[in-house]
Structure formats: structure tokens, C-alpha cells
Amino acid sequence: MALVRLRGPLKKLAGDRSDHSIEAGTVCDLLRELERAHPAMGGWILDERGLVRRHIAVFVNDECVREDAPVSSEDRVDVLPAISGG
């Protein structure tokens, strides 16, 4: 199972736990599974279209990816607010 790491308000919504092991084929499936396990997270990462919100960054290992990226059981997935600006 992939290891998902959350922080800030997402961690709080997910039972105040940062690490979650989830089995899924894609980032979108993984995030949907996370929402199912923690309904309070619904709409916080994915919008109604199933897209990752514009200012959320999802990293699979070291690579920033979109929702259709594949995920394997060895992967580490970090979900965090995208920091940008000057």
C-alpha cells in the first residue's frame, strides 16, 4: 500500500493522523479512498470534477503530479498546500 502523508488541516481532518496506508492505482483513486475513510475531507483536496484543487500539490515520491498519475504500493505520496509567490 502507498504511504500518504498529510499535514496541517488535512491531517486534522483525517483523524489527526499524518500517515495513512492506502491501496490505489492512481492519485485520484487514492484521494477518493482517503475521502471515503475520512468523510470530513470531502471537497478539501479534490473538487467536484475529480481534479486536485489548483493550489494543492501532490507529490508521488519526489515528483509533483496530477490526479491521473499512477501510484504503486511502494510509493510515498505527500499532499500539501502549494507554496508560491515572491
Q: Is 47 in the site for other proteins (CB under 8 A)?
A: yes
Binds other proteins (CB under 8 A): choice among 4, 6, 22, 44: 44
**Using CB under 8 A, which of 7, 17, 36, 53 touches other proteins?**
53
Given candidates 1, 56, 65, 78, which one binds other proteins under the rule CB under 8 A? 56
Instruction: Identify which of residues 20 and 44 has a Cβ nearer to other proteins in the complex.
Output: 44
- Asked if 79 contacts 3 with a C-beta cutoff of 8 angstroms, the reply is no
User: In whole angstroms, what is the distance from residue 71 CA to residue 26 CA?
Assistant: 5
Query: What would the grid cell of residue 53 be?
Result: 484543487
Cβ(14)–Cβ(38) below 8 Å = yes
